[in-house]
Amino acid sequence: MDSKEVSEVPRREVRSFLMARDPSIDRRFRPRPNKKMRLFDNIQESEEESFSEYSDTESEYKYQSSEATEGASCATSAADSSNLETGPQVFLRLRPVKDASKAYIVSEEANVLITSCKVDSTSNNVNRMEKHFGFTSIFDSTVGQRDIYDACVGPKIMEEECVTIMTYGTSGSGKTYTLLGDDVRAGIIPRALENIFTIYQDTVFRSPKLKLINGSIVFLQDDASLKELQIRKKLLDLCPDISAHHQRLKQVIDGDHMFETKASTDVSVLVWVSFVEIYNELVYDLLAIPPKQDKLGEVPRKNLKIVGNKGHVFIKGLTSVFVTSSEEALRLLRLGQQRSTYASTSVNANSSRSHCVFTVDILKYNRSGITTQSSYKFCDLAGSERVNNTGTSGLRLKEAKNINTSLMVLGRCLDAASTVQKKKNADIIPYRDSKLTMLLQAALLGKEKLAMIVTVTPLDKYYEENLNVLNFASIAKNIIFKEPVIKQHRVSYCGFMEFSKMSTCEGGDYTKELEDENVRLQLEIEQLKYDHVLQMQLLEEKLRRELTATYQEIIQNNKKQYEDECEKKLLIAQRESEFMLSSQRRRYEEQIEDLKDEIEELKNPASDTDISDDPNESKSPIEIIDDD
């Protein structure tokens, strides 16, 4: 019995088609929820996935940490970002007009615009219907530049986050005025510059030691820093003098705002500005240094190339200028405005014919070696216009077509961004179809905050154009992005932090004097090199003239000697020829005389006959003369 039990070996269960497995064993019959759910959508993605190995830049997008750890050597970790999803802020500004149309009504909450056409200003029945457009906030004609800045731009600069601010609207609706203002009422950009330099007043670094090159922060050596200072000086010399104008604007801004200053001893801040325009789908640098040999107004502009990949964007060969004050940045802004393209149309006497983007890059260097980048892009989009209403032709017609095409692509990108928010693949946003959307792809993909200020002229004759603008704004209002990230870079500790402290303390003025003296000496060296080259060229020309004169004198002497020899040879030849002629003449004369004698003899035959009759005379004796 025992042996039988020992011989039995447990065998594996054989599947049977008649007797099924127990439901708890077979995975096909395990209980599961009736509704399918994706359990991993809300789980935070690894921050390593946001960095592409094949990206065009070496920068990394990392989530903003709550507080930088002191003494850290590199950015190895970052705090978790919030899971909040926010969309772009869309503001509406109504231009002040004398007789405002009643077709535009603002709600009591000041965030909904109600439009209804009651006149024959539109031929489309759909546009006659009452429509409601929601905005983050609506500014009527009574709201000034101060309130617009406090609502749209001020909080974003205080939060130190990357943001793209664009103005969009019909031609002549006040886009450029909102950004720049006038001599009395400062716009968004002058106020933002004053705000930035007031915040970092005690931490602004006076030497360009860090620069954003091709999307990555690079530490500059001494020779590269001197070159950047020389470029800065040359461009500032080309800028118009706006000292009095800047003082007036500063007084107005200081009266409207109370900007705070952030005190920090472990941070150095470097500010760089750049200015580009997109004209007829070509990118031009508005701060490029013109060549010396070309005349003013005849400098050919070079088309630049936009390089980008998944939100990492930079313009190859773009001039970025280091600035240390708001006045310098404003002077460069005025210089770029003078070089941008403007023209007169039937709607606006000074209409911008290109999209202009003014960028302010703020590079912050911590003692731990971590550098952070904050970029503020101010986009002045060209006004959308209907060719049938404006009656443009020729070059203005070509400009209007390119403007409308780029704005249409921007609308398509916003529409795609609003419909793709639940999908993972963001490449379907067609931002590569236009240079404008390629430059703004970081904001379109949610890598940066986006704020749009829509300007509208509330008149009946612009009703259909305003509806197109409002529809465009409603698309942007429906976009939902994830919380944007802060750009952090890994830079080894370069040791200029202590120098930064020295520059901000009592020795800062002396350091600035030394830097100015260094730049002045470099320019003087260049001038001396130019003078030396000029002197060498003059000396070379002098030597050439002396050598030419010497060789000419030698040639003249040789020529004279040759002429004398030729004259002598000619004289000898003349004498020989005269002698030969005279001898030939005498010989011919003698022959002539002999012939004459023979002729005379032939004429007198009687004498010959007499001679022949006398035999004695005819036969004369022959005398033999012996020579001996």
**What is residue 271's predicted lDDT score, i.e. its pLDDT?**
93
pLDDT, one tens digit per residue, over 47-98 is 334 333 333 333 333 333 333 333 333 333 333 333 444 678 899 999 888 8
Residue environment code for 461-497, b if the CB has 16+ CB neighbours within 10 A, otherwise e: ebbebbbebbebbbbbbbbebeebbbbbbbbeeeebb
Q: How far apart are the first and last CA of the chain?
A: 188
What pLDDT band is residue 126 in, cutting at 50, 70 and 90? Answer: low
pLDDT at 275 > cutoff 70: yes
DSSP 435: H
Nearest 5 degrees, angle CA 390-CA 396-CA 402?
A: 100
Q: What is the mean pLDDT of residues 160-180?
A: 87
pLDDT at 441: 86
What is the model's pLDDT at position 42?
47
Beta bridge mates, 213: 216
558 band by pLDDT with thresholds 50, 70 and 90: very high
Q: So what's the pLDDT on residue 91?
A: 92
Distance CA 383, CA 271 (A): 30
Q: Are 487 and 447 in contact (CB under 8 A)?
A: no
Two structure tokens written together for 491: 């830079």
451: left (phi over 0), alpha (psi -120 to 50) or beta: beta
Query: What pLDDT was estimated at residue 510?
Result: 67
| pLDDT band with cut points at 50, 70 and 90 for residue 376 | very high
Query: Sorting pLDDT into bands at 50, 70 and 90, what band is 505?
Result: very low
Q: What is the mean pLDDT of the segment spanning 514-536?
A: 84
Range from 114-128, 274-288, 462-476, 610-624 that averages highest in pLDDT: 274-288
d(C-alpha 231, C-alpha 56), whole Å: 26
pLDDT at residue 425 in the model = 52
The pLDDT of residue 354 is above 50: yes
Q: What is the rounded CA–CA span in Å between residue 346 and residue 390? A: 6
Question: In this predicted model, which residue has the larger pLDDT, 316 or 103?
Answer: 316
pLDDT at 292: 66
**What's the pTM?**
0.66
Instruction: Check residue 322 and give its pLDDT.
Output: 93
Average pLDDT over residues 303-315: 82
Task: Give the pLDDT score at 206.
Answer: 84
pLDDT at 540 over 80: yes
CA distance 502 to 498: 6
Annotated binding residues: 169-176
pLDDT confidence bin for 377, thresholds 50/70/90: very high
Q: What CATH architecture is 82-245+258-287+303-505?
A: 3-Layer(aba) Sandwich (3.40)
Residues 298-325, mean pLDDT to the nearest whole number? 83
How many CA atoms, within 13 angstroms, populate the side-chain half-sphere of residue 403?
Answer: 26
pLDDT > 70: percent of the chain? 70
The pLDDT assigned to 390 comes to 60
**CA–CA separation, 352 and 467 (whole Å):** 21
Torsion angle (degrees, nearest 10) of CA 426, 430, 436, 441: 10
| pLDDT above 80 for 257 | yes
Least confident of 17-31, 125-139, 339-353, 461-475: 17-31
More confident residue, 343 or 538: 538
Residue type, 503: S
Strand pairing partners for 211? Answer: 218
Name the least confident of 29-38, 294-303, 400-409, 534-543. 29-38
pLDDT band at 460 (very low <50, low <70, confident <90, very high): confident
- Judged against a pLDDT cut of 70, whether residue 308 lies above it is answered with yes
- The answer on pLDDT for 537 being more than 70 is yes
pLDDT recorded at residue 311: 63
Q: Which is more confidently placed, 303 or 416?
A: 303
Nearest of 287, 263, 161 to residue 204 by alpha carbon: 263
pLDDT score for 191: 93
User: What pLDDT, on the 0 to 100 scale, is given for residue 369?
Assistant: 76
Residue 38 half-sphere exposure toward CB, CA atoms < 13 A: 6
Using one digit for the tens of pLDDT, what is the confidence trace for 578-617? 999 999 989 999 999 999 888 988 888 765 555 555 555 4
Task: For the chain, give the mean pLDDT.
Answer: 76
Known binding positions for ATP: 169-176
Of 616 and 271, the structure prediction assigns the larger pLDDT to 271
**Whole-number pLDDT of residue 176:** 87
